[in-house]
Structure 1
Amino acid sequence: MIYFSTNKTSTPVSIKKATLEGLAPDGGLYVPSGVPGFSLPELELLEGGNFRSIAFAIAKKFVGGEIPLDHLGDIIDSCYPFETPLVELEKGTFIEELFSGPTLAFKDYGARFLARLTGYFASEERKLITVLVATSGDTGSAVAYGFQGIPNTRVVLLYPSGKVSRLQEQQLTTAGGNVHALEVQGDFDDCQRLVKQAFVDPELRELLTLTSANSINISRLIPQSFYYAWASLHLKAEYGMENPVFSVPSGNYGNLTAGVLARMMGFPIGHFIAASNANDSVTRYLEEGRYEPRPTIATLSTAMDVGNPSNFARLRHFYNNDYRAMGSDITGISVSDEDTTAAIRDIYNRYGYIVDPHTAVGFHALEEYRKQSGNRSPGIVLSTAHPAKFLEVIEEALERKIEIPERLRVVLEKEKKANLIGTDYRELADFLKHLDR
């Protein structure tokens, strides 16, 4: 499989080079030269399979040929020792729980796969890889834990000061070892801008071998398609339902892009809802055909507070910049903080089920979509984080205490270790030049 840049001026590369570079030299995002398909017989064979068998089948199409299949199988097995439950709230309405991994967030699916691929390729190249990541919360902790102890790698995490939950901050600042945290006095878009500047800085690239573990890295995006494929096949095998509508809490749009990738591969998916908060640049694009990013707005669903999402470039590529074609597959719905809080209460009162604010955005958007369209297809809401990661929001909404899992309680007791920097790129460049020296 060959990968090329969405900006189309860089030389096409292998999965190894795309993984180790992260961002293409021309500033574009790597995309596959063609999306591999699954035939109906192949899908039928996978229907009764477990999550890891479906993940392996997909990974083989994108990575096969560059990693021996037995080793790729071991990578998949080590990545996903946990379950991916599909919980039925009522007939035809499901929550796909993506928070069973070590950091209790969906980012574990992509980060663990990427970390192992990076480690494998770095050992082949005999290089020290510096992984540079901008995070609005769960990406940072998933990358920190995913890369922790992986040979030939070190990680630098940039997160916006005061704009992630306390639990998220504790997770990404206490990993230690080969993981370094930078608290940026700005918002997520500032963090993302700094990372992009580093990747196109010729002086820095001369000194360091840089890659990214954000969803701009194709090897973090590909594994996010695994749980769409799994859910669509499991829904058919276990419940006799087909072509679900996926409601996707959306911030940087990597998660949604991975779903589109799964649908393009042939997995039985009917439609997508891009569930945003007040940061609605993609929602407005789907309605009007004009992409006009705005400054980031702070909301209760903090991990989705992204004004100018990076992965939108990949979405536009897959739909040939045709917003009507994109809109035929994706409905954008923006959800207010008031409706987010109301959804948290509503889900608890109706089903006795507790969700985090991002999942609440996805649930409310599914309800709105059904009202507007009359579509009664089965609906799957992606639950992107354990509610305990957003204690303040949940406890205020439900007026009750939430139990914190043991692995999070342990993290809260650790000492935060982070360097504070401003939004001037020179501060980041100086830190990276003197890292571990």
Structure 2
Amino acid sequence: MKLYSTNNKNLRVSFKEAVFNSMPQDKGLYMPVEIPHLDADFIKNIENFSLPEIAYKVASTLLKDEIPADDLKALIDDAINFEAPAVKLDDKTFVLELFHGPSLAFKDFGARFMSRVMSYFLKDGEQLLDVLVATSGDTGGAVALGFLGVPNTRVTILYPEGKVSPIQELQLTTNGQNIRAIEVKGTFDDCQALVKQAFADDELNANFRLTSANSINISRLIPQTFYYFNTYAQLKRQGLNDVIFSVPSGNFGNIGAGLLAYKLGLPVKQFIAATNINDTVPRFLETGVYETKPSTQTYSNAMDVGAPSNWIRIMDLFDEDVESLKKVVTSYRFNDEETLAGIKEIDEQFDYVACPHTAIAYLAIEKFRQENPEDESAAVFLSTAHACKFPDIFPVDIAAKIEIPEQVTALESKPQHADQLGIDFEGFKNYLLNKA
């Protein structure tokens, strides 16, 4: 597998190099030189395969000979050791539960796969691998658990002060060992900017072996394609062939993975990018003007991103052709008041408790159906996090229905530790150099 930079299509690097470098020096993002099509027989008979079998087929098709077959199978079996059920709410509506991994969020797919890929490629005696990650909520917890105890690695997680939920903060600050957390007096975009500046800094690169665990790392994107194919398999078992996916979207890695799956041959009729009021992409699709803005805090905090990194990849997948993209991707935005109404509606209609991100994806499905009443496709909205992560958002009667997983209860008795920093890069750089 060879990859290029979105800023330089003549560049060629291996998968291993892209994983460890995370982001090219020209500040683009790595993309596959070739996106092969999965063979038609596999797609036609996909309902006969399990999630790990599907994951292996997709990964081996993309990666080719980067990792030997037996090693790749073992890696996937270890990383993807939990289910992603498409729960039926009615004959044409499904919620894809992606929170059955250890951190209770969809980020477990990417973080666990990536950590094991990095561990596989790391050789004894090599320089310590420093993993930098910015999080708006769920990424940090998934990365922390994915890398906890992995030899020869150190993870530094930046998160915005006061803008993650209490459970999310516990997942970031109670790990110890090779995981350290930094509370930044700013927004997620500020955290992300610090990480990006670190990768471009000559002195830091001379002193450390830096890589990222954000969705800018290509090894995060690849495993997220697995559950799109697996969902299609689940629907085919129920006699459904036409599918629409509604994806809660912040940094646009999740829907980017879905669109990569589409380019690999997954037959999806439509993708819906569902956002909160951080609506850079909906505005772009409406006006043709791509204009980022500072992120605004909402109930769906993991989507509070004003400058989504992965939009570059999505445009690249469609060769910068906006009209072609708009045939496949629709986008809607919803505010906090609408989000709460969506949570209540899902509870009343289906007796199902949805986190705020999930509720936004549901609302987008309903809006799409209103605008396209002739479309009879099955609709799948992605549930990206367990509802227990957002206890203060739910009305009392709905909150009472939430079952608290054991791993959350265990966190509450652990000591917390986080360092505090401002948003200036020199402060972050000095922290990295002095805490080495």
TM-score normalised by the chain length of structure 2: 0.97
CA distance in 2, matches of 1:425, 1:304: 24
Deviates more, 1:118-127 or 1:149-158: 118-127
SS at match of 1:47: helix
CA distance in 2, matches of 1:201, 1:35: 31
Query: Which position in structure 1 is the counterpart of 2:284?
Result: 285
Query: Which position in structure 2 is the counterpart of 1:60?
Result: 60
CA distance in 1, matches of 2:271, 2:130: 35
2:333 equivalent to 1:334: yes
Query: Which position in structure 2 is the counterpart of 1:49?
Result: 49
SS at match of 2:170: helix
Query: Which position in structure 2 is the counterpart of 1:87?
Result: 87
2:26 equivalent to 1:26: yes
2:238 equivalent to 1:239: yes
SS at match of 1:55: helix
User: In 1, are the aligned partners of 2:133 and 2:156 still within 8 Å (CA)?
Assistant: yes
Structure 2 residue runs of 5 or longer lacking an equivalent are none
CA distance in 1, matches of 2:11, 2:328: 31
SS at match of 1:126: coil
User: In 2, are the aligned partners of 1:246 and 1:380 still within 8 Å (CA)?
Assistant: yes
Q: 1:10/1:139 Cα in 2 relative to 1: closer, same or farther (>3 Å)?
A: farther
User: In 2, are the aligned partners of 1:123 and 1:152 still within 8 Å (CA)?
Assistant: no
Q: Deviations over 1:5-60 (max 9, x none)?
A: 11117731000000000011111100000111112112234331000000001111
Q: Deviations over 1:409-435 (max 9, x none)?
A: 111222211100000001111111123
Q: Deviations over 1:350-397 (max 9, x none)?
A: 111111000000001100111012223100011000000111112458
Query: Which position in structure 1 is the counterpart of 2:418?
Result: 418
User: In 1, are the aligned partners of 2:353 and 2:402 still within 8 Å (CA)?
Assistant: no
Query: Which position in structure 2 is the counterpart of 1:8?
Result: 8
Query: Which position in structure 2 is the counterpart of 1:320?
Result: 319
Structure-to-structure mapping, 1:8-157, within 5 angstroms? 8=8, 11-123=11-123, 126-157=126-157
Query: Which position in structure 2 is the counterpart of 1:300?
Result: 299
Structure-to-structure mapping, 1:144-293, within 5 angstroms? 144-236=144-236, 238-293=237-292
CA distance in 2, matches of 1:178, 1:348: 40
Query: Which position in structure 2 is the counterpart of 1:363?
Result: 362
Structure-to-structure mapping, 1:377-388, within 5 angstroms? 377-388=377-388
Aligned-pair CA distance for 1:322: 1.9
The code of the aligned residue for 1:332 comes to S
CA distance in 1, matches of 2:306, 2:418: 25
Aligned-pair CA distance for 1:330: 0.5
SS at match of 2:315: helix
Aligned-pair CA distance for 1:149: 1.0
Query: Which position in structure 1 is the counterpart of 2:347?
Result: 348
CA distance in 1, matches of 2:412, 2:381: 29
CA distance in 2, matches of 1:29, 1:284: 23
SS at match of 2:118: helix
TM-score normalised by the chain length of structure 1: 0.97
The code of the aligned residue for 1:271 comes to Q
Q: Deviations over 1:231-251 (max 9, x none)?
A: 012211x21111310000000
Q: 1:201/1:270 Cα in 2 relative to 1: closer, same or farther (>3 Å)?
A: same
Q: 1:346/1:176 Cα in 2 relative to 1: closer, same or farther (>3 Å)?
A: same
CA distance in 1, matches of 2:46, 2:91: 24
CA distance in 1, matches of 2:405, 2:10: 46
CA distance in 2, matches of 1:86, 1:9: 37
Aligned-pair CA distance for 1:318: 0.9
User: In 2, are the aligned partners of 1:340 and 1:357 still within 8 Å (CA)?
Assistant: yes
The code of the aligned residue for 1:199 comes to F
CA distance in 2, matches of 1:125, 1:9: 34
User: In 1, are the aligned partners of 2:158 and 2:181 still within 8 Å (CA)?
Assistant: yes
CA distance in 2, matches of 1:397, 1:189: 34
Q: 1:352/1:8 Cα in 2 relative to 1: closer, same or farther (>3 Å)?
A: same
2:399 equivalent to 1:402: no
SS at match of 2:87: strand
Pairwise CA RMSD of aligned residues? Answer: 1.4
The code of the aligned residue for 1:207 comes to N
CA distance in 2, matches of 1:132, 1:363: 32
Aligned-pair CA distance for 1:401: 6.0
CA distance in 2, matches of 1:89, 1:230: 18
Aligned-pair CA distance for 1:62: 2.3
User: In 1, are the aligned partners of 2:38 and 2:61 still within 8 Å (CA)?
Assistant: no
The code of the aligned residue for 1:119 comes to S
Percent of matched pairs sharing the same residue: 46
Q: 1:357/1:9 Cα in 2 relative to 1: closer, same or farther (>3 Å)?
A: same
Deviates more, 1:314-323 or 1:42-51: 42-51
